Structures are given as C-alpha cells and as structure tokens.
Amino acid sequence: MALKDNIQSLLGQVQEMKAANAEELEALRIKYLSKKGEITALFNEFRTVPSDQKRELGQLLNQLRQETEGRINELREQFEAKQAEADRLDLTRTPDPIALGTRHPLSLVREEIEDIFSRIGFTIAQGPEVEDDKHVYGMLNFAPEHPARDMQDTFFIEKEKGVQKPTDVLLRSHTSSVQTRVMTSQKPPIRVLCPGRVYRNEAISARAHCFFHQVEGLYIDKNVSFADLREALLYFSKEMFGPETKIRLRPSYFPFTEPSAEMDISCNICGGKGCSFCKGTGWVEILGCGMVDPNVLEACGIDSKEYSGYAFGMGVERITNLKYRVKDLRLFSENDVRFLKQFESC
C-alpha cells in the first residue's frame, strides 16, 4: 500500500501549501500537476495497481488532484486581488493639486472695461505716474489757483531732500494727464483708453485711499458730438452692467471739458427701486465726462475749429464695488488671500 501512503502524505502537503508570490505558486503547480509532476507520477503508478484496489485508490487520487487544483486556484485568486489593488494606486501622481493663483478683482474689471471699449475702436495708451504740473493741470485748463493743485490733494515730489515747493514734479492725481500726452504726440483721429494708477493725498479709510485706479477715455475727430459721447457711454453701461441698465447725465463742471457732465447708472443692486447702496435714489454715479474744452485742444496743438472730441474718466474701484460689492477700499491693496482667492482665475 505504498501508493496509498504516498497519496495521503501528498494530501497533507497540499492542504498546507503556501506561496509568497505568483512565481512560487507556478513552481508548486509544476511540482505537483505538470506532466512530470508528483501527482501525475502517482497516476502512472496507479495503472499497475491490482483491480480490487483501483476503486479506493482511484477515488483518493482524484480527491488529491482536485484538492491540489482547488488550492492552487485559491492562492492564484488571492494574488490577483492583491495585484488589482496595487494597480489602482498611481504612484506617479502629484500628491496634492497645484494651487492656482487668482486674478486681482481690479485687473479683472480693468480688462473688462478695456475689452468693451476696444470693441468700438479704442486702443490703449499709457503715461507716466510721476508727472509734471503742465500735463496734469496746466494744459488741462486748470487755473493756477485751482484747489485741486493744492497740497491737500496732490503729492508733490521734492526735487532736493527737504526742499518742498515750488516744484512741478508730482504724482498724477488723475489719468486725464494721459490725454495731454496723447494729444501732443498723435494727430487726430484719436480714440484711446488710458488705464492707470493715480495718487491723492487722502487719509486712508474704507471709502478713500491715497492711491486708486482710473480709466480715461478720449475721442478726437471731426464733428464729434455730445450725442456720440452719450451713445458710447450707454453702450459701455449695458455691456458692463447688463442690457436693462439705464444712464442719466447730470450737468457738472470740470476745467478740461465744456459742457461737462456726471453720469449715473440705474442702481444695479436694486434695479433702480432704491436701496441702501444708492441711498434710496435708484441711481449711482460712475463717471465724469464732457466735450473736450477748446482751450485744451489748442494747448495740445490741435485746431479746435477743425476738431472736437469727448472725454470721460471713471474709477476702477467704484465699478468693481458695483460688480462685486466690495465695501471697503482697503481690501484691494491689503493682499489678504482670503479676499483675493474669491475671484476667478481665468
């Protein structure tokens, strides 16, 4: 009964069978079940067994083969499951997504203004922030004693340390200075938009800052009329604040325009019904504008009998406030990421 003993000892081995990896498992399969394997050898030996023992030994041998195959399949499934788990982990992946920065809300709004006016033929012009009195005030028809030149408003730059006035070097207090730069260097027709930073000697609070941003517009050509100005500003307001937006022009005064006006839009927060933002009036002021004063044209070397033009100037912070409801001006320059990251990066 040596065959029976061999079968039983192999059965014991097979039940204990272990493999550390797929290669070891394959080695076990070859050891027991291949053509030269141990179990196959027992089947060969079985042929010589006397017929009265065939039934019992045959059953035992079949049991041995089934258990071996079963155990090998079980181990193989375990390895395959582990492998599938490992395949799910992408070890080449960056552990954390890269944090993208966002655009500053003033840049977003400035670009939107530029985009709207570029669609009706305006190009961008720039001028220096450190300017002289002539370009900021003199050529813009400011009388010599005009209060805007006063130290209260304008930052004058000391030429020599400790020597204050008289100096005509200053930080521009409005982007209207770029008008004079453009008109003295280009010939009409002129159609420019001048975005930039301006400075004023103001105490910093939620509603005022010592620097802020403006966009100036200037159009000089033959036969430019106030109706052209109104049309351009209505187009801008609808593009910026929505097609239902209404505008109204109120007479005003600026030294460099005649006639001058201030423009209100229907409050885009309450839709014109009246709210705390528009102080119950339904209107909010967004810009100053007018027909370029002939004195300004002449001061810049443009014949005021041949040419006329319009100009307008708006505060970017004001428009941003209306678009994004930012109540405190200081937020724009504090660089607090909790504020900045609320704006889309696009």
Whole-number minimum distance, CB 260 to ligand DAH, in Å? 6
Q: Which is nearer to ligand DAH, 45 or 153 (CB)?
A: 153
Under the binding rule (CB under 6 A), the answer on residue 216 touching ligand DAH is yes
Q: Which is nearer to ligand DAH, 32 or 254 (CB)?
A: 254
Q: Reduced to 3 states, what is the DSSP secondary structure of residue 93? A: coil
* DSSP assigned state of 117: H
Q: Reduced to 3 states, what is the DSSP secondary structure of residue 131? A: strand
The count of residues in the chain is: 346
Whole-number minimum distance, CB 211 to ligand DAH, in Å? 13
List 193's β-bridge partners, or say none.
Answer: 124, 217
Q: Which of 10, 290, 297, 300 binds ligand DAH (CB under 6 A)?
A: 290
Stretch that binds ligand DAH, among 49-57, 86-94, 151-159, 305-313 (CB under 6 A): 305-313
Which token pair is 141? Answer: 């028809």
Mutual angle of helices 2-16 and 38-46, in 10-degree steps: 150
Under the binding rule (CB under 6 A), the answer on residue 196 touching ligand DAH is no
CB atoms within 10 A of CB 225: 11
Under the binding rule (CB under 6 A), the answer on residue 257 touching ligand DAH is yes
**Region class of 270: left (phi > 0), else alpha (psi between -120 and 50), else beta:** alpha
Q: Which residue is nearest to ligand DAH (CB)?
A: 313
Q: In the stretch 171-190, what mask flags binding to ligand DAH with x, by CB under 6 A?
A: ---x-x--------------
What end-to-end distance do the CA atoms of the chain give, in Å?
85
Under the binding rule (CB under 6 A), the answer on residue 313 touching ligand DAH is yes
Q: Which is nearer to ligand DAH, 68 or 176 (CB)?
A: 176
Q: Which residue has the tokens 């030429």?
A: 159
Q: Where does this chain bind ligand DAH (CB under 6 A)?
A: 174, 176, 216, 254, 257, 288-290, 311-313
